[in-house]
Structure 1
Amino acid sequence: MDNLFRYDNKFFEILGKITDIVILNLLCIISCLPIVTIGVSITAAYSVAMNMIKDEETYIVKEFIRSFKENFKTSTIVWTIMLIIGGVLLFDFYMSRLVLNESISKVLQFIFTIISIIYTFTLTYVFPIIYKFENTIKNTMINSALISIQNLPYTVIIVILNLSPFLLINLFRSHWGHIIFLYTVIGFGIIICINSIFFDKIFNKLIK
């Protein structure tokens, strides 16, 4: 019975990790609310998660705030650039569908689809890379695209995980409320932690 209440009991260890993920999840959501801070919030979340997966002693709130402050400028500039590029891509897709020549329209849509895939890959990697490596904004974005393509199997898994809320809502429309609640409480934190395992492997390989 004594072992049940020991602080190093497996149950309390698991409970502690779940609590950390919930806190990380809520920090990330709250700090994303101004929209303009989404980039730096994701960067800060990955800085916390990458320490968590290594079982390093991590003060969640303190580390999140520290990383948020340190990476605010770079992450916000990159996020703004990615928003603009995303807006341009959406506009280009819309215009390509209005082209009267069907063949040209399909070619343009194909080209913009390829560009959008590369854009998605870059957006997926850029904020973890901002946390992990010091570089210029231009090189960070270029490296994000190149590294994502070089590690395509991992990239596909990470992108699917990032899109999982939308996929689940589409598959289980009658349970959309439960799905949103799950992700609001812990879901995004779990995704970030799982992604961090993949990013850690990728980055360690690059460092070596």
Structure 2
Amino acid sequence: MCETMNVLSEDSIFGQIFGFLGNMIALNILWLVTSLPIVTIGASTTAMYYTALKLHKDKDVTVWKAFFHSFRQNFMQATAIWAVLAAVEALLLSYGFIGIGLITGVLLLYIFPVIAAFSNTLGKLAGHAFYFAFHKPGYLIATAALTCLPMYFTMVDAKLFPVYLLIWLMCGFSLTAYGNAWFYLRLFQPHLKECQKNTFI
């Protein structure tokens, strides 16, 4: 009995795996529920990245507390930038401005993690997002691949689509954010040390 309890304890490998999956499922559900109005996707995505960054940095994090702290804290900025960028992206792609659309896509990829990590005006945060995106192009490629490739395979594989959909509904979005947050935190960390007063992490 003692051996069984040790295997299932929080410090065991199985306990850590189940704890991690529980956090990912909880974070995924929070993101899905708070994204339902569509207009709040910016705020919910920022909150998801805030929580993912905290999980990487601090490990022991209460997911729902971290999520709603960021959701409330960054609601106005994240919602405003989401509304603008979503409209611009749709307009550019509909008129075939793919090059400019890609630049907007880069901003969409980085702006919400930047809002999650730093406090500043939207203009400066957008500038920071471009700086981080092109400071290490390898990280940009990696985060773009982590974000886009799973969605691509979900859409093109009709036979396994139900399986992919179940994964997305359970933990797909949060796992993507958690994977991307590994790269974002390494980009942000030197600057977080320099400007502790301006960061939420």
Q: Write the letter of the residue equivalent to 1:133.
A: F
1:55, CA displacement in angstroms?
Answer: 4.5
Normalised TM-score (structure 1): 0.85
Contact 1:31-1:41 within 8 A present in 2 as well? yes
Contact 2:74-2:116 within 8 A present in 1 as well? yes
Question: Quick check: 185-194 or 158-167, which moved more?
Answer: 158-167
Structure 2 unaligned segments of length 5 or more: list them: 195-201
1:58, CA displacement in angstroms?
Answer: 0.8
In structure 2, the residue matched to 1:183 is 168
Contact 1:3-1:9 within 8 A present in 2 as well? no
Counterpart among 105, 127, 145 of residue 160 in structure 1: 145
In structure 2, the residue matched to 1:196 is 181
Structure 2 distance, partners of 1:128, 1:91, is 27
Question: Quick check: 76-85 or 163-172, which moved more?
Answer: 163-172
Q: Does 1:50 align with 2:53?
A: yes
The alignment yields a C-alpha RMSD, in angstroms, of 1.6
Structure 2 distance, partners of 1:9, 1:2, is 13
**Misfit runs of 4+, over 4 Å:** none
Contact 1:118-1:145 within 8 A present in 2 as well? no
Normalised TM-score (structure 2): 0.88
Q: Give percent identity, aligned residues only.
A: 27
In structure 2, the residue matched to 1:20 is 23
Q: Counterparts of 1:1-208 in structure 2 under 5 Å?
A: 1-6=1-6, 7=9, 8-93=11-96, 112-207=97-192
Q: Write the letter of the residue equivalent to 1:41.
A: S
Greater Rg by CA: 1
Q: Write the letter of the residue equivalent to 1:2.
A: C
Structure 1 distance, partners of 2:174, 2:149, is 13
